[in-house]
Chain A
Amino acid sequence: MVDTRFYLLGERAAVLESPAPANLVCQRRIWWLAAQLRRQSIFIDVVPGMNNLTVTFDPQTQSGDDILADLQGQWLTAEAAAPAPHIIELPVCYGGEDGPDLPEVARHTGLSQKAVIEQHSQAAYTVFFLGFRPGFAYMGGLPPALATPRRNEPRLMVRAGSIGIGGAQTGIYPANCPGGWQLIGRTHTPLFDLERDPPSLLLPGDQVRFIQVCHV
């Protein structure tokens, strides 16, 4: 907590940054603070990152120094957000066309494909923050044994709903787009829907479980 940095980024953003490594204790306080700040009309964006939080404001009406002081004060008294407000279960087809990199993840980790699926679907995941694409959730909780580096050649097209492993993280592509993660399965649950409010199914702090529904 003492090592937390507070600084301005450009004219209209202020950042709170706790040192690495990323951890859930710090992240829970970030979500809690984000929820408080979102209620204050002076903040335009309130964006959690990994161990950090960025807010944007209108520099014509707000002083950056005041915002920094305010953030610093609120961080001191921040509480941990209550764990798991939402548990979201996503049915997944692992392997085959839906998870073309399952054999590669098995090879890299030295596990059988079945063991990869078991470990991946038994873990509980936590959404740390959203970024990269609308509705793309960066999740913690991947069993360390499953960590696999990204593909050397990113795919030009990854299908919406594809579940991938990128290093020590797992994530789901909400829409068709290029991507470099190792794809092990796919869900048909829509993750980003413009008709829904908010349009993203997953939000920071949510808990995610993958339920295997098809066999390789």
Chain B
Amino acid sequence: MFEIIRAGIQTTVQDLGRIGLRHLGIAQAGALDQPALMLANRLVNNPAGAAGLEIAMGPVEICFHRSGWLALTGADFEATLDGQPIWPGWRLPYQCGQRLLLKGPRSGMRAYLAVDGGIDVPQVLGARATDLRARFGGFVGRALQAGDRLPQGPAIAHLDRCGAWARPWSPVVRALPGPEYAAFRAEAQQRFWQTSWLVSPQSDRMGYRLSGPALLLTEHREMLSHAVLPGVVQVPPNGQPIVLLADAQTTGGFPRIASVIEADLWKIAQARPGQRLHFVETTLETALQALKQQQYERNRFEWSAYGR
């Protein structure tokens, strides 16, 4: 078990989300930067989809009530363990009573903390992810508060110290043209790829709102509601695109100009309000190749960390 001493603004328990329930209106939820959570978990010998903490703003302070191993990935939050600086992307042991402090992001937006055994909150509809809007899952369906005590799975016997390379973040995000791409005016299509989009402060786990030149349709279109997924870029009537993320509702009715490829979705999650994002058109083939490459890097890490 560990205890939250300071909770930050939006620290939530997340895993890889709820799968296969969209037809009931149930959002996916789960970590926005999934590769980061999977890596943190594998560093401490958890299954890749175990529950960890997603930390969106510091300072967050945690007190451990048993000894074990931890790993921090994603944004570099200037973390210390009992005052000693620790490196992101490494696993390290902690002792009962030690305090982990995450000040705030030096770069990036969200940090992921995995502890050995995972966070053992009950599964709700097949996942431990917090659905903040529906208020279920995670730790009683809400963001963490000071004083919360989170149960941990069984401790592991022994590990060696080990680290993983950090992925370089860049504002360049690959995307595929969406189903309504052709319904946008030619200049809107060009602007979509040419603009450096400003990440609005209204961005959250549901979606990243971008501001820039308005993207207009050739003619008004009344669209029938359809399923939407994380990565879909929809354009409401004000012409300012929204990249949908894990907490997005399951259906929507706005035209979809593009879809961010899965291998680059984590870049959106690590972009801060006030930063800029740039979309680059790509092909399905490249998107699938990039996904395969991510999988390959995970496998290679497993070989180096565990020899299997």
Partners in one complex: yes
B-binding residues in A (CB < 8 A): 5, 7-13, 15, 17, 20, 22, 34, 44-52, 54, 56, 59-60, 64, 129-136, 138, 175, 177, 194, 198-200, 203-204
Partner of A10, one of B19, B24, B134, B261: B261
Q: Which single residue of chain A is at the shortest CB-CB distance from B226? A: A49
Question: What are 20 A-to-B residue pairs whose CB atoms are below 8 Å?
Answer: A7-B179, A8-B284, A9-B229, A10-B229, A10-B232, A10-B262, A11-B176, A11-B261, A11-B287, A15-B179, A17-B179, A44-B20, A46-B23, A49-B226, A64-B284, A132-B250, A133-B133, A136-B25, A194-B125, A200-B25
Cβ 8 A contact of B20, one of A9, A45, A52? A45
B19, closest chain A residue (CB): A44
CA distance A134 to B131 in the complex (A): 10
Question: Do the beta carbons of A49 and B224 come within 8 Å of each other?
Answer: yes
B73 interfacial contact with A, CB 8 Å: no
Which of B30-38, B187-195, B288-296 participates in binding chain A? B288-296
Q: Give chain A nearest CB distance to B294 CB in angstroms.
A: 10
By beta carbon, the residue of chain B nearest A46 is B23
Contacts of B225 in A (CB 8 A): 49-50, 129, 131, 138
Q: How far is the CA of A167 from the CA of B108 in the complex (A)?
A: 42
Q: Which residue of the partner chain, among A7, A20, A51, A54, contacts B227 with CB atoms under 8 Å?
A: A54
| A45-B20, A134-B25 known; A54-B226 Cβ under 8 A | yes
Interchain CB contact under 8 A, A12 and B134: no
* B-to-A contact residues, CB < 8 Å: 19-27, 124-125, 131, 133-136, 176, 178-179, 222, 224-227, 229, 231-232, 249-252, 256, 259-262, 284, 287-288, 291-292, 295
User: Is the CB–CB distance between B284 and A130 below 8 Å?
Assistant: no
Query: Which residues of chain A are near B287, meaning CB under 8 Å?
Result: 10-11
Instruction: Tell me, rounded to whole Å, the shortest Cβ–Cβ distance linking B202 to chain A.
Output: 14
Q: How far apart sit A51 and B225, CA to CA, in the bound complex (Å)?
A: 8
Q: Are B295 and A60 in contact (CB under 8 A)?
A: yes
Q: Name the residue among B19, B226, B229, B262 with the largest chain A CB count within 10 angstroms.
A: B226
**Residue from the set A11, A12, A203 with the largest chain B CB neighbour count within 10 Å:** A11
Q: In the complex, what residues of B have CB within 8 A of residue A9's CB?
A: 178-179, 229, 232, 256, 259
Minimum distance in angstroms from A72 CB to a CB of chain B: 16
Instruction: Compute how far the CA of A48 lies from the CA of B249 in the bound complex, rounded to whole angstroms.
Output: 14
Docked pose: A49 CA to B22 CA in angstroms: 11
Residue of B with least CB distance to A17? B226
| CB-defined contacts of A22 to chain B, threshold 8 Å | 224
Contacts known (A20-B222, A49-B225); A133 close to B232, Cβ less than 8 A: no
B224 and A52: CB pair below 8 A? Answer: yes
**B25 in contact with A133 (CB, 8 Å):** yes
B18: nearest residue on chain A (CB-CB)?
A134
Contact A48 B23 (CB under 8 A): yes
Contact residues in B for A54 (Cβ distance below 8 Å): 226-227, 229
Decide yes or no: A60 and B292 within 8 Å by CB, A47-B250, A48-B23, A134-B25 being known contacts: yes
**B134–A199 touching, CB < 8 Å:** no
- What is the distance, in angstroms, from B204's C-beta to the closest C-beta of chain A? 14
Residue of B nearest to A47 (CB): B227
- Residues of B near A5 (CB, < 8 A) are 179
Docked Cα-Cα span, A34 to B252, in Å, equals: 19
Is A199 within 8 A of B224, CB to CB? Answer: no
Contact of B224 among A10, A51, A56 (CB under 8 A): A51
CB of A134 within 8 A of CB of B23, answer no
CB distance from B193 to the nearest CB of A (A): 17
A45 to B21, CA, bound (A): 7
Apart from the given pairs A130-B23, A175-B135, 19 other A-B contacts in the complex at a CB distance below 8 Å: A10-B231, A11-B291, A13-B229, A22-B224, A44-B19, A44-B20, A47-B22, A47-B250, A47-B251, A52-B226, A52-B227, A56-B22, A59-B288, A129-B225, A131-B252, A134-B25, A175-B134, A199-B26, A200-B24
Identify which of B20, B250, B288 contacts A11 (C-beta below 8 A). Answer: B288
Chain B residues, Cβ within 8 Å of A46? 23
A47 with B259: CB separation less than 8 A: no
A13, B227: Cβ atoms under 8 Å?
yes
Q: Which residues of A contact B21 (CB under 8 A)?
A: 45
Known: A60-B292, A129-B251, A199-B125. A134 touches B261 (CB 8 A): no
Docked CA distance A45–B24 (Å): 10
CB distance from A84 to the nearest CB of B (A): 19
A161 to B203, CA, bound (A): 29
CB neighbours (8 Å) of B20 from chain A are 44-45
